[in-house]
Amino acid sequence: MRAIAIILTIASAAFCSIGSLYLKKGTKKAKKASDYLFNKKIMLGMSIYLAATVLYLVALRMEELSVLFSISATQYIFTAVLAKNFEKERITAKRWAGIMLIIAGIALISIS
């Protein structure tokens, strides 16, 4: 049960970052309000986000919040990897350090 909950949480974190990538792509050429409302990429991004939330809620029924909370923070790593590969963003050492500090902080808070 625990292993399944952890796998679901990692999947949820990955979904979350894929969702945000699509949101980012959707906003690129959008200018008018209607560009945002009738935007396939934004809709897809939102749906993936929703799927991520459902996966996380299912996982929460199986395992304690504290463990899963820390694991879900790994979404920032996924996001950085996706941003580097699909958005050609440069992830500087400073940014990686910031991401690691945030993950460590979330782990500290949730395990206490």
Q: Does 50 bind another protein (CB under 8 A)?
A: no
Does residue 4 interact with another protein by CB under 8 A?
A: no
* Residue 30 binds another protein, judged by CB under 8 A: yes
Distance of alpha carbon 47 from alpha carbon 41, whole angstroms: 10
Cα 99 to the center of its chain, rounded Å? 13
Among 11, 44, 46, 67, binds another protein (CB under 8 A): 46
Ramachandran class of 79: left when φ > 0, alpha when ψ lies in -120 to 50, beta otherwise: alpha
CB of 91 to another protein, least distance (A): 5
CA pair distance 112, 105, nearest whole angstrom:
11
- 43 counts as binding another protein under rule CB under 8 A: no
Distance in Å, CB of 3 to another protein, minimum: 26
